[in-house]
Structure 1
Amino acid sequence: MNKSILGLDKKDSAHLVDNLNGLLANFQIYYQNLRGLHWNIKGKNFFELHVKFEEFYTDSQVKIDDVAERILTLQGKPLHTFTDYINKASVPVGRDISNDEEGVRLVVTSLSELLTIEREILVISEKADDEGTNSMMSDFIAEQEKTIWMLNSWLGK
């Protein structure tokens, strides 16, 4: 087998890098959606959601950096252009959303899409014996599942 300096199969690592770049692209779209929601939210829930969306985008910045650094750790190159992000992302783009419920629904939908991608990466990282990526995905998944539960509770679901 052709092993990397980390002891991982180079082919498996390349496959993980490709999938992690997909996650990175989706996180970047999610992040920008959150910035737009933070800036444009209106109504009686403004103060509550303005702060919450900032909390979410600050957390996303950390996760974006974590994913990019994991890609580099696996000896790959993280995507870094908006063109790449748009071409690779499946998270919906939110445009001019100022309604509180519409904004929260966009976050829930986006997190659901991120969870799907992270679970796919989790399967790949398990098969590759890549505990670093596996651990990162597990942490992301647990946190995002709880956030979805809370946001759905806010929506009255």
Structure 2
Amino acid sequence: MDILSITGIEPAHAAKVSEGLQQLLADFQVYYTNLRGYHWHVRGPQFFTLHAQFEKMYDEAAEHIDEIAERLLQLGATPENRFSQYLKKSQIKEQTEVRQPSDIIPQILDSLKTLIAQERKVADLADEAGDIATSDLVSDIIDGQEKSVWMIASLLG
């Protein structure tokens, strides 16, 4: 069954939106894995607070990953599931054994900057396609991330 013929999204537009979502999926997968590492490796006097916060953040990222993959399927695309491909495509680079909050926090903010920029690109593509569902999806993600940026940046003073 051709889902797009029912939803009214032109296949050429859906393909452009899907390409942007595939990029976002790769970026989110690496971001998620980095958050897991930060959760495991963080040290110092803020350990309890940051350990719990990083878990909350990677749980939220996992939800977004699933939503993005499902939206790709709804647009007739196949979401990538190979981490080797995510690493080739992601604009976010994997981190390992980063322990100090003074190193972790700026890396998270940089990753959020990358994610938000890609989400804005996807939103623009979705708007051009008349794809309200994708626009709403990325808008909701951005809304939460902008609040996170404000809260995380507050740790830096």
Cα drift, residue 84 of structure 1: 1.1
Mapped to 1, the partners of 2:102 and 2:133 lie a distance apart of 36
Mapped to 1, the partners of 2:105 and 2:60 lie a distance apart of 16
Alignment of 1:1-150 (within 5 A): 4-150=5-151
TM-score, normalised to structure 2, is 0.96
Unaligned 5+ segments in structure 1 are none
The share of aligned pairs that are identical, in percent, is 36
Mapped to 2, the partners of 1:61 and 1:102 lie a distance apart of 23
Mapped to 2, the partners of 1:83 and 1:100 lie a distance apart of 28
Mapped to 1, the partners of 2:97 and 2:76 lie a distance apart of 38
Question: Which is further off, 25-34 or 141-150?
Answer: 141-150
2:7 is paired with a residue whose SS is coil
Mapped to 1, the partners of 2:79 and 2:44 lie a distance apart of 38
CA distances 1:68-112 after superposition (whole Å, capped 9, x unpaired): 000001111000001110111001322210001211111111011
May I ask how many residue pairs the two structures share in their alignment? 154
Mapped to 2, the partners of 1:148 and 1:4 lie a distance apart of 39
Mapped to 2, the partners of 1:13 and 1:123 lie a distance apart of 12
Cα drift, residue 4 of structure 1: 3.0
Report the RMSD for the aligned CA atoms in angstroms: 0.9
Contact conserved, 2:87 with 2:93, CA < 8 A, in 1?
Answer: no
Unaligned 5+ segments in structure 2 are none
